[in-house]
Structure 1
Amino acid sequence: MNATSPQNILLSVENLTVGYGERIIQQDLTFTVKKGSIFALMGGSGCGKSTLLKSMIGLLPPKNGDFLVKGENYWRANKNHRVEIGRKFGVLFQSAALWSSMTVGENIALPLQLFTKLSSTMIQRLVEMKLGLVGMSHAVNLYPSELSGGMKKRCGLARALALDPEILFFDEPSAGLDPITSKRLDDLILNLRDGLGTTIIIVSHELPSLFTIADDGIFLDAETKRPIAHGSPRALRDNPPCELVNDFMHRQTVQNPK
């Protein structure tokens, strides 16, 4: 089967415009995400990466355009059907967003308790399995305050995996992590993609991570409020289509025009 055939397209963004109130953040967004790919949302600070991510995970209705999940129009569906489509999603927020008053095990059990009819025994087994996938089995009875930054990210990932999502959304997963911990997280993300076939959409500024794990992506421009490049981070690094992309991919300071 051709990698670009419709059967291999999991997500489609079509002429999407996102923003807050009267303020437009990004417009004319059109791209597709293939099954099993790691797709990067790239660009400088303030360009709208996280805003686009919020719209894709159901937190921010778009101003215009469509977002399709396996051919189903997410934002044009009724509320109940949007919840059903959203069951295909898992989200790892930048801060991991674990409930501080709950143990790690209780955090991971929560979506299973809310969205399934599984017994408490089965939920406990699944919690242990998800923590095992991210190498955090020992943390089941710990509280988030007892974890390092990297451990919180792994536990947040275990919670994102609780309902066996087809699609994982990561918002700056390496933010605040040291290089060794960041590399371990990259390896974990690749293992999830390769072992489970999970499709991943990632927002990140970390170039070593992007070059290592992402095989496709889109580059957003804050000034024009439009995408200006599409391709893998490595391809955009080696053949940048414009000066802005070149400067970003090589960590050069963009000079303001005189």
Structure 2
Amino acid sequence: MAAPTPPSAGPANPQGAPTQTTPPAGETLIAVRDVTLAFGEKVIQRNVSFDLKRGSIFAVMGGSGCGKSTLLKSMIGLLRPTTGQIMVEGEDYWAQDEQRRTELNHRFGVLFQSGALWSSMTVGENVALPLEMFTTEPPDVIRRLVELKLGFVGMEQAIDLYPSEISGGMRKRAGLARAIALDPDILFFDEPSAGLDPMSSARLDDLILTLRDGLGATIVIVSHELPSLFAIADDGIFLDAVTHTPIAHGAPRTLRETCAIPEVTAFMNRLSSIPSSGPAPGQTPGKTEG
């Protein structure tokens, strides 16, 4: 199969036009059912349930400390939930033995917040690592695959550079190339835009859309970066840090426009305090804290 065309290096969405699509109504890839996440007596979230549909860009939203990254860790096999089920196409992930969970993990690609590249390895060696660990391809084939993955994210020129020699945005893209090395059908991103300037963040948004449209990937994003969420996410869940429960479900733009829950209204409109009710039509959002 021909490799997808790499995204342009030019500015993303120059007119600011919306790029997200309506939530898919098709096959459920992952079903989270009544999951509780806790550390000892400290409950992080309880009664978490949602479906991740094939082809969706699903946002996990909420304020700091609500458990977004903790939920992500449970979905990718790093943290067993206290109760509940995470079903991967009908299989109870945490009920499987370690070997089967490892096999299911090969369907996942993960981009951690910092990129999580090995500093002692070149960009190309970082991307090659999962191919060397989990395939039997010879070195020349792996090199070609690495070139293709880096080309897809516009990073082929950095194949022999070390992480310390490239910018933060380039490290994010290199981490993304590694995440797609094994052609996973589900991608998980933890704060992908954190620390990026607005143009780099917009380019990353376009790249995420290209991954969905060009590779057919299904994507879960943990983020509080509202411009990115409004631009690309077509479904999502809002986790509340006070009640330790999900309190809203839907596309970020839909929640911003129609949700009457004060905590969600405040978050989606960048208000500095929680209103007693949703903002009146035409109300100017308050100044953000911090």
Contact between 1:19 and 1:51, CA under 8 Å: does it hold in 2?
no
Q: Percent identity?
A: 64
What code does the residue aligned with 2:151 have?
G
The 5-angstrom pairing of residues 199-214 of structure 1 reads 199-214=218-233
Write the deviation string for residues 191-234 of structure 1: whole angstroms up to 9, x where unpaired: 11011110000011111100000000000001110000000000
Partner of 2:234: 215
Residues of 1 paired with 2:58 and 2:86: CA distance? 15
Compute the RMSD of aligned alpha carbons. Answer: 1.4
Residues of 2 paired with 1:255 and 1:127: CA distance? 48
Contact between 1:183 and 1:209, CA under 8 Å: does it hold in 2?
yes
The 5-angstrom pairing of residues 45-124 of structure 1 reads 45-124=64-143
Question: After TM superposition, what 4+ stretches of structure 1 lie above 6 angstroms from structure 2?
Answer: none
Contact between 1:25 and 1:48, CA under 8 Å: does it hold in 2?
yes
User: Would you say 1:4 and 2:19 are equivalent positions?
Assistant: no
Describe the SS at the equivalent of 2:95.
Answer: coil
Match of 1:234 among 246, 253, 264: 253
Partner of 2:190: 171
Distance change (3 Å), C-alpha of 1:64 and 1:213? same
Residues of 2 paired with 1:74 and 1:23: CA distance? 24
Residues of 2 paired with 1:67 and 1:37: CA distance? 17
Mind listing any 5+ residue stretches in structure 1 that lack a counterpart?
Answer: none
What code does the residue aligned with 1:4 have?
A
Residues of 1 paired with 2:188 and 2:274: CA distance? 32
Residues of 1 paired with 2:274 and 2:268: CA distance? 15
Contact between 1:13 and 1:67, CA under 8 Å: does it hold in 2?
yes
Contact between 1:229 and 1:241, CA under 8 Å: does it hold in 2?
no
Deviation at 1:4, TM superposition (A): 3.5
Residues of 2 paired with 1:118 and 1:25: CA distance? 42
User: Paired residues, what number?
Assistant: 254
Partner of 2:15: none
Contact between 1:66 and 1:73, CA under 8 Å: does it hold in 2?
yes
Residues of 1 paired with 2:275 and 2:262: CA distance? 12
Contact between 1:39 and 1:202, CA under 8 Å: does it hold in 2?
yes
Range with greater deviation from structure 2 (18-27 or 103-112): 18-27
Residues of 2 paired with 1:231 and 1:42: CA distance? 11
Partner of 2:62: 43
User: Would you say 1:151 and 2:170 are equivalent positions?
Assistant: yes
Deviation at 1:19, TM superposition (A): 2.0
Residues of 2 paired with 1:81 and 1:147: CA distance? 37
Deviation at 1:65, TM superposition (A): 0.3
Partner of 1:26: 45
TM-score normalised to structure 2 length: 0.86
Describe the SS at the equivalent of 2:271.
Answer: coil
Describe the SS at the equivalent of 1:75.
Answer: helix
What code does the residue aligned with 1:152 have?
R
Partner of 1:244: 263
Describe the SS at the equivalent of 2:195.
Answer: coil
Residues of 2 paired with 1:146 and 1:19: CA distance? 39
What code does the residue aligned with 1:191 have?
T
What code does the residue aligned with 1:233 have?
P
What code does the residue aligned with 2:49 have?
T
Contact between 1:131 and 1:140, CA under 8 Å: does it hold in 2?
yes
Deviation at 1:255, TM superposition (A): 4.7
